[in-house]
Amino acid sequence: MASESGAPGGDAAGAGAPLTERGARTRERLLTAAREVFEERGFLDTRVAHITRHAKVAYGSFYTYFPSKEAVFLEVADRLFADMTQHDLVPLEGPSPAARVRRANRAYYEAYRRNAKMMAIIEQVSTFNVEFQEMRRKHRAVAVSRSAKAIRRWQAAGLAPADIDPEMASRALAAMVDHSLYLWLVQGEEPDDRLLDTLDTLSIRALGLDP
């Protein structure tokens, strides 16, 4: 599956990976073009012809590298998720739980803003493509369980109240941040920069952390 093989050379696409230098370049051009076109028109309104035209590649060449429109999208999304979860790799150790919540929220916000257009399309595809839903579910699960682990640690250290369910709380708060950003940055809900502060404050209060 694409989520396991983000790097070129994997067998994500189902079509033979390019062996030559030239092939690799063409494939790359198609991927870049695909992302740009998807962002511009959405998945549904994107035609394979749009992608090849944008990539300045022959129509037929598309199918040399990708077995279908879904396949390119999956790979584009894969790269995006790599970018989105990169911040998680940053050492989460820091001065205080509250500070770390704030930092994580901001990092996610930055990543979201950077990829807002694709996030919109990802949301779109998630509504009808089961394979893709599964991919998202996995990504979410990883993030949620990481947060849950942190909460559990804080509870053990007496920094967070014990009556909170770590899994459920991280699921709910992730949903809050994620969807708030979606409504703001994708659906164009009236922008308001107080929102970010509010998300921090609510998260911290909800978890009973010392601000």
Can you give the length of the chain in residues?
211
The piece of 41-49, 83-91, 103-111, 169-177 that touches DNA (CB under 7 A) is 41-49
Cβ atoms of residues 176 and 206 within 8 Å: no
Of these partners, a copy of itself, DNA, none, which one is at the site of residue 59 (CB under 5 to 8 Å by kind)? DNA
The piece of 12-20, 145-153, 165-173, 194-202 that touches DNA (CB under 7 A) is 12-20
16, burial (CB in 10 Å: exposed 0-12, middle 13-18, buried 19+):
exposed
Cβ atoms of residues 119 and 185 within 8 Å: yes
- Residues within window 136-165 making contact with a copy of itself, judged by CB under 8 A: 137, 140, 163-165
In the complex, least distance from residue 120 CB atom to DNA, rounded to whole angstroms:
18
Q: Decide if residue 49 touches a copy of itself (CB under 8 A).
A: no
Selected from 6, 32, 123, 152, the binder of a copy of itself by CB under 8 A is 123
Q: What single-letter amino acid sits at 99? A: A
Q: What single-letter amino acid sits at 180? A: S
